Amino acid sequence: MSAPHQQPSQRIAAALREKITTGELRPGDRVPSTRQLVRDWGVAMATASRALALLQEEGMVTSRTGSGTVVRGTPAPAPPPLTRTRILAVAVRLADREGLEAVSMRRLAGALKVAPMSLYRYVAGRDELETLMVRAVFRSSPLPDPMPPGWRRRLETVYQLQWQLYRSHPWLAELTLVTRPPLAPEAMLHTEWTLEALAELPLDRAARIRTALALPALVHGLALGALHEVRAEQLSHLRNEEWWATIEAEAAEMLLGPDFPRLGELDAFPAHAFGLTGLDEAFELALGHYLDGLAAWHPAP
């Protein structure tokens, strides 16, 4: 509504503003031209022009060539500011969806709708980006504080969490080589916990170090298997059980002979056991057997 003390241009702008906010004039609709406002309101051309200029300054209308002045659509929200946290979040989502090979600086810049060179203000390059991605993933699912009691429970906590991270982010296995681990404090804490747990067992220093390598290697090997299965499903567009169905006749022919009697027994095993679900079950079995072996050194739970 217009107030009596307003100038004529302000009263005209207020009237048009009300029509826009109530929906009488919708996005894309033409608003009255200056000539129309002159006729309808009995004002000078300059006053009518000023009324439309006020609405333009507010972002409610815009001028279009050939269409005159029209109601502006709802403006798109401004993108959030570029930060390292936002860059890493997008990089992780992209890797989760398309694999680590899809995460180039140019592709990342496109997803963020920024110039590629602007990323280098936050990340030095691909090597640092990958390390920061590892840190971000491990930081998103931290180890509990305080540590659970008992060496076995601590090791179960560490490696069950690692397996969950690998399954949620299959590409992670490419960046966490056991022999050349990334210098990522959040991941290094998993090794610290492992060594702390193993210190409770009657193992000499060399055995502790070998065990601290063997446990993550066990999990990492299965994680690489999961990564390859994920890639195979993406490339073939077939789930594991569907792929087995395509080779069933050929495999059965080979297994019917006398050379593979034990492999032939697998014919009755469900095909899904060889896929990602089977790897989840294999992890639990392998970890349990390994910890049972360690328990032979130390009977305490």
Backbone angles phi, psi at 61, to 5 degrees: -135, 165
Residue 190 lies in a domain: yes
Residue 200 lies in a domain: yes
Q: How far is CA 37 from CA 8, 31, 65, in A?
A: 11, 10, 19
| pLDDT of the residue at 184 | 94
What percent of the chain has a predicted confidence (pLDDT) above 70? 92
Residue 172 lies in a domain: yes
Q: Which of the four pLDDT bands, split at 50, 70 and 90, describes residue 2?
A: very low
Whole-number Å distance between alpha carbons of 160 and 290: 13
Residue 78 lies in a domain: no
Tell me the CATH number at 52.
Answer: 1.10.10.10
Model pLDDT for residues 208-222, shown as the tens digit of each residue: 999 999 999 999 999
- Residue 103 three-state SS: coil
Domain carrying residue 92: 84-139
Mean pLDDT of the chain: 87
pTM for this predicted structure: 0.70
More confident residue, 260 or 152: 152
| pLDDT of the residue at 129 | 96
For residue 185, the 8-state DSSP code is: H
User: Is a pLDDT exceeding 60 seen at residue 82?
Assistant: yes
More confident residue, 251 or 11: 11
Residues 147 and 288 both lie in one domain: yes
| pLDDT of the residue at 199 | 92
User: Is a pLDDT exceeding 70 seen at residue 299?
Assistant: no
Tell me the DSSP string of 235-289.
Answer: HH---HHHHHHHTHHHHHHHHTSTT-HHHHGGGGS-GGGGSHHHHHHHHHHHHHH
Question: For residues 258 and 267, is the Cβ–Cβ distance under 8 A?
Answer: no
Domain count, the chain: 3
Residues 183 and 290 both lie in one domain: yes
Residues 244 and 256 both lie in one domain: yes
| pLDDT of the residue at 233 | 82
Token digits of residue 35: 């000539």
Residue 20 lies in a domain: yes
Residues 111 and 217 both lie in one domain: no
Residues 284 and 214 both lie in one domain: yes
User: Residue 151: CB partners within 8 Å, gap ≥ 6?
Assistant: 197, 198, 200, 201, 294, 298, 300
Residues 146 and 265 both lie in one domain: yes
Residue 79 lies in a domain: no
Residues 121 and 148 both lie in one domain: no
Residues 60 and 115 both lie in one domain: no
